[in-house]
Amino acid sequence: MKTVFVTVGTTSFDELIECVTSEEATQVLSALGYEKLVLQVGRGSVVPDAGSFAGLQVDVFRFKGSIAEDMRDADLVISHAGAGSCLEALGARRPLLVVVNDRLMDNHQLELAKQLHSDSHLLYCTCSTLTQTLRTMDLSVLAPFLPGRPQNFATFLDQALGLH
Amino acid sequence: MMAIFWGIISGIVLVLFVFTIRLLVVVRTGSECKPGKKGSVSMLVVGGSGGHTTEVLRLVERLSQAYSPRHYVIADTDIMSEDKIRTLETLKNETYADPKFTIHRIPRSREVRQSWSSSVLTTLNALLFSIPLVFRLKPDVVLCNGPGTCVPLCVAGLFLGALGVKKVLIIYVESICRVENLSLSGKILYRLSDYFFVQWSTLKDKYPRSIYIGRLV
């Protein structure tokens, strides 16, 4: 089942949940062939009812021990700009659309999302441009995000500390 | 009376002066310090909520069994980190015969969005707990990536060196989240660390003393 996974991380992002479940957005998602919408709403106060609308089956939960499975089962991840969520989605090699919360000014988390966007690893929009972005997005332009190399750190340290 | 007063003042100034010189010498001589020559390196690893523990554990995961024992320190209000540490150590346990690790908790030095003035007080409080802990563990290195808790622990490590007890190497790896600006902990520890890693070349350009060998996590 073609699935969209929406995640807001450990905080809340009511505006995102509202706009992704709006009639307009759900219609676009249906038209794109998505059949299931899974929402992780965190501490938010907007908690849509599970069920189906506009041909989409909707699942909702607040938190889980691990969202790795939801990431793996998703064909598209829509996430807040949090570093943890972005890295988890990219690590799972899922197409990622980051929705920036423009009400949070000067949020250092944005630094990483912006850089990953300029390196073509993710798409980037705000709540007000979400529907338009979904309608026109081209996921094939996204470049795979290669894992970091902790081995380089280990090798450097071995040498620096005189272990060899 | 005045003579005693000035005597005390100049005494304090002299002690501070000698201590500062010692501190500078300790900070500058990191590259000559090779604790690995004795075969093993004891580590103090600082964890923290908000991704810090996950990130630092990815580095620890790749270190050989020569990095032993590993002493993890986390904030007392941190509920997620201990499980993550135990999971990794269980994994290491399967690979290596005799892993040694301990977990310690100290008062949090700074909560998210805490004001500057009260941060100074809570950091001093955390320092009171860090100094005896670091003096007891006497690690060869402190490894951290920027949670508030790491500043008092690194300062305690510097004290150990400045007092001539033991040179504690400070290895700082700035979080991958930091692309253009260092975190507050990073700014404080930039000149005090023996090895200061950044994970984006934009930061390397801004902070030339840092080490950039690509993205690490």
B111-130 pLDDT tens trace: 767 787 888 888 899 999 99
**Coil, helix or strand at residue B167:** coil
8 Å CB contact between A137 and A97? yes
Instruction: Return the residue of A nearest to B42 by Cα.
Output: A161
Considering the domain boundaries, does residue B217 fall inside one? no
| 3-state helix vs strand vs coil in chain B, percent to 5 | 50, 15, 35
| Contact with chain A for residue B113, Cβ under 8 A | no
Instruction: Indicate if the pLDDT at residue B144 is higher than 80.
Output: yes
pLDDT for A164 beyond 80: no
Report CB contact under 8 Å: A111, B61.
no
What would the mean pLDDT of A66-92 be, rounded to a whole number? 93
Q: How far is CA B125 from CA A88, B51, B130, B163, in A?
A: 35, 24, 9, 21
- CATH at residue B54: 3.40.50.2000
Residue A50 Cα to chain centre, angstroms? 20
**Residue B195 is assigned to a structural domain of this protein:** yes
Q: Which residue ranges form the domains of chain A, and what is each CATH number?
A: 3-160 (3.40.50.2000)
Q: Specify burial of residue B204 (Cβ count, 10 A radius: 0-12, 13-18, 19+).
A: middle
Inter-chain Cβ pairs, chain A and chain B, closer than 8 A:
81
- Least CB–CB distance from A111: residue in B31, B177, B211: B177
Across the interface, whether the CB atoms of A153 and B179 are under 8 A apart is answered no
Q: Residue B134 falls within a domain, yes or no? A: yes
Q: Is residue A110 within a helix (H) or strand (E), and if so which, with residue range?
A: helix A109-118
A66 touches chain B (CB under 8 A): no
Band of the pLDDT at B99, cuts 50, 70, 90? Answer: low
Q: A83 and B51: CB-CB below 8 Å? A: yes
8 Å CB contact between B107 and B74 = no
B195 and A149 within 8 Å at the Cβ level: the answer is no
Provide the token pair at A12. Answer: 């809340």
Q: Do B140 and A161 make contact, defined as CB atoms within 8 angstroms?
A: yes
Asked if the structure places residue B181 within a domain, the reply is yes
Within the 150-169 window of chain B, which residues sit less than 8 Å (CB to CB) from chain A? 169
Q: Which range of residues forms the domain containing residue B139?
A: 2-206
- Residue to mutate among B32, B49, B62, with most A CBs inside 10 A, is B62
B107 prior amide bond cis, ω within 30: no
- Interchain proximity B169–A161, CB inside 8 Å: yes
Across the interface, whether the CB atoms of B36 and A109 are under 8 A apart is answered no
Q: Which long-range contacts (CB under 8 A, 24 or more apart) does B122-126 make?
A: B123/B148, B123/B151, B123/B152, B126/B152
Q: What's the pLDDT at A109? A: 72
Reported as a single tens digit per residue, the pLDDT across B48-65 is 987 899 999 999 999 999
Would the pLDDT of A65 be above 90? Answer: no
Could you tell me the strand order of the sheet in which B70-75 lies?
Answer: B101-106, B70-75, B43-46, B141-144, B169-173, B195-197
Average pLDDT, chain B: 91
Question: Which residue would you say has higher pLDDT here, B148 or A129?
Answer: A129
In sequence order, what are the residues at sequence separation of 6 or more whose Cβ sits closer than 8 angstroms to the Cβ of residue B189? B144, B150, B151, B154, B170, B172, B196
B180 against B114, higher pLDDT = B180
Amino acid at B5: F
pLDDT of residue B127: 94
**Which pLDDT belongs to residue A54?**
78
Percentage with pLDDT > 90 across chain A: 79
Interchain CB distance below 8 Å, B177 and A108 = yes
pLDDT of amino acid B145: 95
pLDDT for A106: 57
Closest CA to B62 of A126, A152, A86, A111: A152
State how far the Cα of B175 lies from the Cα of B178, in Å rounded to an integer: 6
A53–chain B nearest CA distance, Å:
35
pLDDT score, position B108: 84
Whether pLDDT at A105 is above 60: no
Please indicate whether, in this complex, the C-beta atoms of A154 and B41 are within 8 angstroms of each other: no
Please give the Cα distance from A97 to A100 (Å, whole number). 10
Q: Cα A17 to the chain's mean position, in Å?
A: 12
Does residue B78 belong to the interface with chain A, where contact is any CB pair within 8 Å?
A: no
Would you call B13 exposed, middle or buried from its count of C-beta atoms within 10 A (0-12, 13-18, 19+)? exposed
Count up the domains in chain B and report the number.
1
Mean pLDDT over all residues of chain A?
93
